[in-house]
């Protein structure tokens, strides 16, 4: 029974294309052009993986994008024309390194600014030195002494809740 179900599942998967091999990538170009294709692929973000370049991603979408790069390079397009093609299609998001212009300056200069602010804060703390210690004799006269355990102050005697707790403890 299980063998029949397994066979039906496998047959259904083959019919619907779930177990079909993925389409292979296009044929590589001449070595100097293929180096250019891989270099361009390293600058473009995979639309599926988002953290990987088109050259590094194992997804079929990345392979399709890399095939498109290969096709554009074989047509004689320049590197900038290939990048412009992908930017016009996917937006500037497709670039792994954003252009250093406009609002993107925050991406480039933000970490440097944070390091400078952190260095300034550390420098100020080192310049101030440790906090000054108050002599023990001055500390005793400056602050009122705390009541010893078992004694009460006038404020404690006026507190009805504290009186109720003391009565409960005396039982």
Domain total of the chain: 2
Higher-confidence residue: 150 or 48?
48
**Angle (CA) 147 153 158, round 5°:** 150
For the ranges 17-26, 45-54, 92-101, 108-117, the one whose mean pLDDT is highest: 108-117
The parent domain of residue 63 ranges over 25-94
Does 33 share its domain with 65?
A: yes
CA 82/CA 59 separation, integer angstroms: 20
Decide: pTM greater than 0.85: no
Arithmetic mean of pLDDT, 125-136: 75
Per residue in 9-39, pLDDT (tens digit) is 766 665 654 543 344 456 777 788 888 989 9
Check whether 107 has a pLDDT greater than 60: yes
The answer to whether position 67 is within a domain reads yes
pLDDT of residue 22: 40
The answer to whether position 107 is within a domain reads yes
The enclosing domain of 53 has a CATH number of: 1.10.8.640
pLDDT of residue 117: 94
pLDDT of residue 33: 86
Last residue of some domain: 45, 69, 94? Answer: 94
Candidate from 59-63, 83-87, 96-100, 137-141 with smallest mean pLDDT: 137-141
Structure token pair of residue 85: 């093609």
Per residue in 24-77, pLDDT (tens digit) is 456 777 788 888 989 988 999 888 887 888 888 888 888 898 899 999 999 989
The answer to whether position 133 is within a domain reads no
The answer to whether position 134 is within a domain reads no
Last residue of some domain: 52, 79, 94? Answer: 94
Check whether 137 has a pLDDT greater than 60: no
Residue-wise burial string across 52-75, b where 16 or more C-beta atoms lie within 10 A, e elsewhere: bbbbebeeeebbebbbbbbebbee
| pLDDT confidence bin for 94, thresholds 50/70/90 | confident
Find out whether 137 and 145 touch, Cβ atoms under 8 Å. no
């Amino acid at each position: 029974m299980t063998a029949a179900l397994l066979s039906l599942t496998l047959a259904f998967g083959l019919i619907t294309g779930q177990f079909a091999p993925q389409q292979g990538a296009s044929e590589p170009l001449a070595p100097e052009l293929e180096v250019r294709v891989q270099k361009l692929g390293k600058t473009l973000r995979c639309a599926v993986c988002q953290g990987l370049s088109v050259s590094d991603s194992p997804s079929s979408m990345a392979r399709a994008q890399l095939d498109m790069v290969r096709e554009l390079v074989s047509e004689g397009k320049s590197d900038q024309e290939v990048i412009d093609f992908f930017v016009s299609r996917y937006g500037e998001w497709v670039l792994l390194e954003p252009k250093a212009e406009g609002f993107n300056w925050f991406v480039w200069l933000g970490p440097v600014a944070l390091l400078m602010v952190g260095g300034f804060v550390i420098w100020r703390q080192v310049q101030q030195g440790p906090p000054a210690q108050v002599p023990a004799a001055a500390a005793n006269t400056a602050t009122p002494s705390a009541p010893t355990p078992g004694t009460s102050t006038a404020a404690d005697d006026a507190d009805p809740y504290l009186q109720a707790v003391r009565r409960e403890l005396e039982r």
